[in-house]
Chains A and B, each alone.
Chain A
Amino acid sequence: MLKILKYSFYDLMRSRWSYVYFAFYLLLGVVLLFLNNDLSKAVITLMNVIIVLVPLIGTIFGVMYYYNSKEFTELLLAQPIKRSSIFLGQYLGVALSLSMSLILGLGLPFIFYGLFKSTAIWDFSLLLITGTFLTLIFTALAFNIALSNENKIKGFGYAILMWLFLGIIYDGIFLMSLIIFEDYPLDKLSLIGTMLNPIDLSRTLILLKLDISALLGYTGAVFKQFFGTSFGLIISFVMLVLWVVFPLLRILYKAKRKDF
């Protein structure tokens, strides 16, 4: 698997898209920090960007890579290599090169700016960790979609739709249902609703850091336990890990049964 990972990774590192992605984050970091000169504001803007763009890029990149490397995959399938190694290797190749672009692209300007001396280092690290998780999750979801759809156009369509759904539509439905059922105790429901969407989950994780003062204004005991203690942080991380693990398991399951 490591060999496949190595080749996928090299392959991606040479494609110009990784550089575009890297350059985009680098530019974003530089613009936010050096034109704005306000670390706290930069972190908040970054959060918005990470929550929206990282999943989008992970999704598109994952689908694109899968379809583009079909030949490579077929070449590998005739070699004495396990299928699980091939797909895990390719998945990790994409996910890690994306994560690296993200971490380096954002990290470099921040380090340059003097992050290590700043108090925002925790907020910032949390942002990067969540960004990495989102990359892992959405690349895995994209691979799932691509594995299940031979048709490239269809695959892309579903992938974009998934992003649109998890990024925006889900929250709309979520908000509506909370308002409609406002007469009932909703704190458990709202937390569960958050757990079921990796974007919301990551957002909550960041809220725990940036908006804890506002979150603690709500009366519900479940909320209070969730946000007031490290319980929320732990649960959120566990859920994020699960969000990586389950799509991965499905990749393995699908890959084992697929004909090429």
Chain B
Amino acid sequence: MKKIVLFLAVILMAYSSYAQKIEVCNTCPISTLKKAIAVAKDYDTIFVNKGTYKEHSIIVDKPLTIIGKNYPVIDGEKKGEIITVTSDYVTVDGLFIINVGTSYTADYAAIRIKRSKHFTVRNLVLEKLFFGIYLERSSYGKIYHNKIVGDAVQEYNSGNGIQLWYSNNIVIEHNYIEHVRDGIYLEFSDNCLIKNNVSEQNIRYGLHFMFSNDDEYRDNTFGNNGAGVAVMFSKKIKMYNNIFRENWGTASYGLLLKEINDADIVGNTFEENTIGINIEGSNRIVYKNNNFTNNGWAVKVRGACYTNSFLENNFLYNSFDISYNSNVNDNVFNKNYWSNYTGYDLDKDGIGDVPYRPVKLFSYIVNRTPETIILLRSLFIDIIDFSEKVSPVFTPDNLLDNNPLMKKNVW
């Protein structure tokens, strides 16, 4: 049995070392990518030289490596989808793909991977696109070092930068995405790793999960999006060391959690968002070692949330730390640092001697009458907040951090 495997491997290696190189250029005998694919054999490498190639509906149906030299332009002339990969083991590298067709009925993409495995999409630059990189029932692939620059203005006629649909075990790394609908969108996609990407100025979300489980995203930056990251109806998502910033607007969140269970949110930075994290119907989530800095509301809890624990986070200079419009349930706040804390530490153990109440009366008033926000930081508001702190009437009286730290958490 072993011998057979070895034999097959040798055959395979020999085969690939004999793989042909095919050159494509505007003046070559093979002047289009389509023609090159037609003449290529499995595992051949196609080199596309600098130039402009007006092609669309290119179908890659055999395991090929397509490499652009000095970013040749593939111009789809807005006529539809540009590259569709239908075979396993395809690599697409170094192309400048522009002018994807827009349609209200078909999701045209700059490059679509369809029912394939073990693909690599890297070093692409996509502009004037509808959808960018679209993965459909494909798995075990890598998407990295791509730059996707859209020009989306409205949600209904724009597409996503990178979209995964029923695609598992994908690695998305070091991509830069801006001005599309959702920077990265995962639907029914499990066990994916999203790392070191920058997703900015997108009209909806920087990153969006729907019905996707066991995924992890870390070290990404989400800035200036309609909302930073939306995680909905998903389980066991790990969120580590990301930066969420400047997501401003009425329905703008750094992070939106909706019907999420068993997630870890650790080491992230939420900076200058209208709402740092908005939580709805989410359970058993651990928030640890996050920095919430200069947000309007650091955390807004909107009910049906159980067993969430906020541990050792820093809440710094937020207009409101926590807004809560339900019961405390069994959610826990412990050992956080709150810059608004005014207590003292007589026994010098680094933990404030009086518990901190992160929910202010004014936050309750603003929830009720939003216009009152204009009175923020007024002396009158400080006075009523103080009296509420002394004897809580409107705010949940058991919502406390019993061990507020005197100094910032450092990790």
Residues on A lying within 8 angstroms of B by beta carbon are 38, 40-41, 44, 47-48, 51-52, 167-169, 171-172, 174-175, 178-179, 182, 186-187, 189-191, 193-194, 200, 203-204, 206-207, 210-220, 223
Contacts and interface: CB of A to CB of B under 8 A. Distances in A.
Nearest to A170: B380
Contacts of B376: 203, 207, 211, 214-215
Interface residues of B, number: 35
B371 A178 contact: yes
In the A-B complex, list the 10 residue pairs whose CB atoms are closest, starting with the nearest.
A214-B296, A214-B319, A171-B380, A213-B296, A186-B371, A217-B274, A182-B369, A211-B319, A190-B371, A171-B378
A216 B250 contact: yes
Contacts of A210: 294, 317, 319, 377
Given A41-B339, A175-B365, A207 B250 contact: no
B319 A168 contact: no
Contacts of A38: 339
Given A40-B316, A179-B365, A51 B381 contact: no
Contact of A217 (B252, B372, B374, B383): B252
Contacts of B369: 178-179, 182, 186
Nearest to B250: A219
A206 B377 CA distance: 10
A207 B379 contact: no
Contact of A203 (B252, B294, B377): B377
Contacts of A206: 377
Given A168-B380, A216-B248, A219-B370, A174 B375 contact: yes
27 contacts: A41-B339, A48-B379, A51-B377, A168-B379, A171-B375, A171-B379, A174-B375, A178-B371, A182-B369, A186-B369, A189-B371, A190-B371, A190-B372, A194-B374, A200-B378, A211-B377, A212-B272, A213-B248, A213-B296, A214-B320, A214-B373, A215-B296, A215-B373, A216-B250, A217-B296, A218-B250, A223-B371
B185 interface: no
Given A214-B296, A217-B275, A167 B365 contact: no
